[in-house]
A and B are shown apart, each in its own frame.
Chain A
């Protein structure tokens, strides 16, 4: 059974940093691209970033480019999102999502999410 468990969310001041983690199990982690998708309170879904299975390719939404860094440790089956220079508009539930092997960007499994609140 595929499981994705996010952690690392919390309250942070504007300009601060946070690192999210996503522990994956139930599939061969290194074979799949993985993504982060966020949802601001009461709002819709926004794709944030994707990393290919090998870790060689990464892509970002313009809204986070230069501030967020996605990475993975295939030996630990864990996905990360390093978030720097956080802004109030980054407040959201952050979901880790597994991409379908034949279609990066198509999310077939999602974690339960971790809430990031950026506020002074």
Chain B
């Protein structure tokens, strides 16, 4: 199984400042035949289901604000929120869909400082 490890577990950032969440996979999720990283980021607010923000490691889902961006390749990935807004308070998960069992990171709780 591919193990996904996020850091940090929790993060507090001032409004308007940058937030960065890291995700590391235990093996590469880069599929060589199409050069795509099978890595997604989800946002989950209290009492709500998760919402996909980023897939293929860096493709923003339609309707997601452009302050959210994803980067990385192979085994190391980053979700960046360029200017934190109050509505971004949530738990963020990375997930690999390279192979079953599809696995998630443990989550990073993002709060306002």
- A contacts, CB < 8 Å to B: 35, 44-47, 50, 59, 61-62, 95, 100, 103-108, 110-113
Contact = CB atoms under 8 A, between A and B. Distances in A.
15 contacts: A44-B93, A45-B107, A47-B101, A50-B100, A50-B102, A59-B101, A95-B49, A95-B50, A105-B100, A106-B55, A107-B50, A107-B52, A110-B51, A111-B49, A112-B49
Interface of chain A, main secondary structure:
strand
Contacts, number: 56
A105 B97 CA distance: 5
Q: Chain B interface residue count: which class?
A: 20 to 34
B50 A47 contact: no
Interface string B74-113: 0000000000000000000101011011111111000000
A38 to B, nearest CB: 11
A106 B49 contact: no
